Amino acid sequence: MIFETVATGGCRSYVIGCEDSCAAALIDPELSQIDRYIALTAKHGLRIRYLIDTHTHADHFSATQQLARRLDVPVVMHRASPAPFVDLRLQGGELLVVGRLRLQAMHTPGHTRDSMCLCVEDRVFTGDTLLIGATGRTDLPSGDAAELHASLFEGLLKLDPALKVYPAHEYKGRSHSTIGQELADNPRLQKRDAGAFIEMMQNLNLTMPTHITEALRTNMSGGKTVAQMLAEAAANVPFMSLLELKNCLESRKGELTVLDVRERDAYEAGHIPGAQLLPRGQLELRVNEELTNPTSRILVCCEFGRVSTLATATLRQMGFTGAVALDGGIKAWREAGYPLQSGKQP
Ligand SMILES: [Fe+2]
């Protein structure tokens, strides 16, 4: 068995591969680590065959859908998953064949309705059902403390005590634990009575994970994160540095339209000298009146450099092939002490 752990903050993903066949499965991949997964499997000479989410994640962005498109392999989740892009929906007891390895799914609802654990040889990937010294929380959408109690005490914890536990989260840098160790030491598992366990879980008063609405929206729908939208736009536009723009304005070399896509009040409070105002919300509607020459050089700017990246990508799609985005935004321009003009557009 070839095995790798990839940590992203407190999130853990796992590559598990068969040495004989070079087939591999990737468990709980995270969106920012796509290059790492591909590089790691290439290093080991592995081909990813399955992309598995142990459950609908509320605290990080899953990479399964994006990797599935890139690698042309199925996304695997439990059949209770609400995500429309899941290709292979498992029920408890079913197996995935990864070369000589057999990954057996165990349905363990509680943290979420679609939570599953995966057993293979000497280990079990427990998702957020069982963590080292803790359990997954049950107060997020589709969580249920009574179901978690049953999944743990009537299911997972009845497995061989020697089985190694690899959870989807670990915050203290421990690589793994075992079922036996968790039964003995995990404080949450000391409440074996269902009523006491449920009461404890319902009174944890945990803060909501950051990005929960965005994580649930994208992980459940297959939609894009804001960071993805920006990265995709940025990959398709050229940028101009603040200094280059300053030199350009000073030398007045060539024709350059500076297009400010912020709202009017921000523009009037201070803009790059000579800039033309066209708020992002009106771009498509007013572009034909405001920008009559599709071949002109257009420098697009906004406050932080993000909205201008999106606007530049839109302009280039519309045929303004000379559109470039300011690298840094007007905030950075202001902080650099470069000249600003205030007042209405002439
Ligand atoms: Fe989770």
Pair 136, 97: CB distance under 8 Å: no
Q: 217 and 237, same structural domain? A: no
Half-sphere exposure of 154 (CA within 13 A, CB side): 12
Residue 341, in any domain of the structure: no
Residue 289, in any domain of the structure: yes
Q: How far is the CA of 246 from the centre of ligand 1 (A)?
A: 48
pLDDT digits (tens, 9 = 90+) for 326-339: 999 999 999 999 99
Pair 91, 79: CB distance under 8 Å: yes
- Length of the chain, in residues: 346
In terms of DSSP H, where are the helices of the chain?
34-43, 64-71, 145-153, 179-185, 194-202, 212-221, 226-235, 242-251, 264-269, 283-290, 307-317, 329-335
Cα 316 to Cα 280: distance, rounded to the nearest angstrom = 14
Q: 191 and 242, same structural domain? A: no
Q: What residues make up the domain containing 282?
A: 228-335
pLDDT score, position 137: 96
Q: How far is the CA of 41 from the centre of ligand 1 (A)?
A: 25
For ligand 1, a single-atom ion, the residues with CB < 5 A are 128
What's the whole-number mean pLDDT along residues 204-230? 92
Residue 340, in any domain of the structure: no
Q: 63 and 143, same structural domain? A: yes
Half-sphere exposure of 163 (CA within 13 A, CB side): 21
Among 156-160, 223-227, 293-297, top mean pLDDT goes to: 156-160
Q: Residue 215 has which token pair?
A: 């994580």
Q: How far is the CA of 173 from the centre of ligand 1 (A)?
A: 18
Question: Beta strand pairing status for 116-120 and 101-107?
Answer: antiparallel
If one counts the domains in the chain, the total is 2
pLDDT score, position 252: 74
Give me the chain's average pLDDT, please.
Answer: 95
- Residue 217: band (very low, low, confident or very high) from pLDDT cuts 50, 70, 90: very high
Q: 292 and 327, same structural domain? A: yes
Residues in contact with 293: Cβ distance below 8 Å, sequence separation at least 6, in sequence order: none
Percent of the chain whose predicted confidence (pLDDT) is above 70: 99
Q: 174 and 232, same structural domain? A: no
pLDDT score, position 254: 61
- Residue 251: band (very low, low, confident or very high) from pLDDT cuts 50, 70, 90: confident
Q: How far is the CA of 111 from the centre of ligand 1 (A)?
A: 7
Cα 3 to Cα 6: distance, rounded to the nearest angstrom = 10
Pair 142, 56: CB distance under 8 Å: yes
Q: 240 and 202, same structural domain? A: no
What is the CATH classification number for the domain harbouring 248? 3.40.250.10
pLDDT digits (tens, 9 = 90+) for 65-93: 999 999 999 999 999 999 999 999 999 99
**pLDDT exceeds cutoff 90 at 182:** yes
Q: 70 and 206, same structural domain? A: yes
What's the whole-number mean pLDDT along residues 1-24? 97
Percent of the chain whose predicted confidence (pLDDT) is above 90: 94
What is the CATH classification number for the domain harbouring 42? 3.60.15.10
**pLDDT exceeds cutoff 90 at 345:** no
Pair 276, 258: CB distance under 8 Å: yes
- Residue 253: band (very low, low, confident or very high) from pLDDT cuts 50, 70, 90: low
Q: 256 and 138, same structural domain? A: no
Q: 191 and 291, same structural domain? A: no
Residue 346, in any domain of the structure: no
**pLDDT exceeds cutoff 90 at 210:** no
